[in-house]
Amino acid sequence: MPGTKLSVVVTRRLPEAVETRLKELFDVELNETDKPFSREQLVAAMQRADVLVPTLNDIIDAAALAQSGERLRLIANYGSGFDHIDVQTARQRGILVSNTPGVLTDDTADMTMALILTVMRRFKEGSNLIQTGDWQGWSPSALLGSRVGGKRLGILGMGRIGSAVARRAKPFGLQIHYHNRKRVHPDTEAELEATYWESLDQMLSRIDILSINCPHSLSTFHLLNARRLKLLKPTAFVVNTSRGEVIDENAFTRMLRAGELAGAGLDVFEKGHEINPRLRGLDTVMLLPHMGSATREGRLEMGEKVIINIKTFADGHRPPDQVVPAML
């Protein structure tokens, strides 16, 4: 669409610098309230925009796309994950979809390591003692956690983030194991001294810590079902900074409450912001409100990618971060 000023609707507030640049380049409608769009508001936005800039809270399924009308031509997602968008249906309707890959790798990997250390060393429980005023002083037997060094870390999904987690974990003395759809390059394996497991089941039975770093798809939904979770040692810890749908959360919660797992650090949940109430109140579980991308630098870089994708599209070219069927 060279020479035209695109109409862009943004569904949530973005960093001020990003919104300012969007307004300079396009005819932009911002969500000043920052309240999530209702389904009706989302459909209406799709009907009046050339470009929609949604976030992971906006469910753009086939039914919503069927009501989008003829104007919408690009969904420039603010985020790397796109499982909330029916990309196939969008494609059939001539609507391109782009995302913001690679921006949050370091931020998410940093938080993964923080969660591993937090749950293994029982930092949450220690902090709670201080906050509630119940700490009675040091004791040689109090709050004994697990030493990190020498443990086996199993990484489920050795992509950009999984590899970044491995690079952070190795200096802590963790042994790196991984399961992935494809084996990584031999040079990467050698660098990380990583052991590849073709069988996920076999890896699960041997590791001390599981880091989930794979995307949510039809093939990974409940990949960690009740049977597979039972393969983990009762002394094992689970950290999930990827997608909540990868775990059967009900089975997982039952095991945590029964003491069949040592603990967990979770930044994502199967039903989004609807947290299973039985996960709350467990001393061995650290729950975070989807903070993997929550750095100022990361959110700015996400916005910059969104702008580049829209600007490239406006100039008559395919967005550099277009989601294509091979990615699904």
**pLDDT, tens digit, 9 for 90 and up, residues 57-78:** 999 999 999 999 999 999 999 9
CA dist., res. 80 & res. 280, Å (int): 28
Sketch the domain layout of the chain as residue ranges: 7-103+295-327, 105-287
- What is the pLDDT, as a whole number, of residue 168? 98
Judge whether 18 and 304 are in contact, CB under 8 Å: yes
Confidence of residue 325 (pLDDT cuts 50, 70, 90): low
7-103+295-327 and 105-287 agree in CATH topology = yes
Report d(CA 39, CA 138) in Å as an integer.
53
Q: Environment class of residue 173 by beta-carbon count within 10 Å: exposed (0-12), middle (13-18) or buried (19+)?
A: exposed
- The model's pLDDT over 265-320, given as tens digits with 9 standing for 90+, comes to 999 999 988 999 999 989 999 999 999 989 999 999 999 999 999 999 999 999 99
Q: Which two tokens stand for residue 310?
A: 């829209």
d(CA 207, CA 261): 12
Q: Average per-residue pLDDT in the chain?
A: 95
pLDDT at 2: 52
Q: Is the pLDDT of residue 328 over 50?
A: no
Average the pLDDT over 189-205 and give the result: 97
Residue 282 Cα distances to 63, 242, 257, 276, angstroms: 39, 21, 7, 12
Confidence of residue 326 (pLDDT cuts 50, 70, 90): low
- SS3 of residue 111 by DSSP: helix
- Per-residue pLDDT at 324: 85
* The CATH fold of domain 7-103+295-327: Rossmann fold (3.40.50)
Could you tell me what percent of the chain has a pLDDT over 70?
98
Across 80-84, 105-109, 245-249, least confident range: 80-84
Q: Which of 141-145, 217-221, 314-318 has the lowest mean pLDDT?
A: 217-221
Residue 57: both structure tokens together: 């809270």
Q: Above 80 in pLDDT, residue 94?
A: yes
- Mean pLDDT of the region 182-206: 97
Q: Please check the confidence at residue 1 and state whether its pLDDT lies above 80.
A: no
Per-residue confidence at 3, pLDDT binned at 50, 70, 90?
Answer: low
Residues ≥6 apart with Cβ < 8 Å to 196: 177, 178, 179, 180, 183, 184, 189
The pLDDT-based confidence of 81 (bands split at 50, 70, 90) is: confident
Of 104, 21, 100, the closest CA to residue 296 belongs to 104
**pLDDT value at position 218?**
85
Asked if the model's pLDDT at residue 323 lies above 60, the reply is: yes
CA–CA separation, 170 vs 82, rounded Å? 30
Residue 156 pLDDT? 98
CATH of 105-287, one of 3.40.50.720, 2.40.30.110, 2.40.160.60, 3.40.50.300: 3.40.50.720
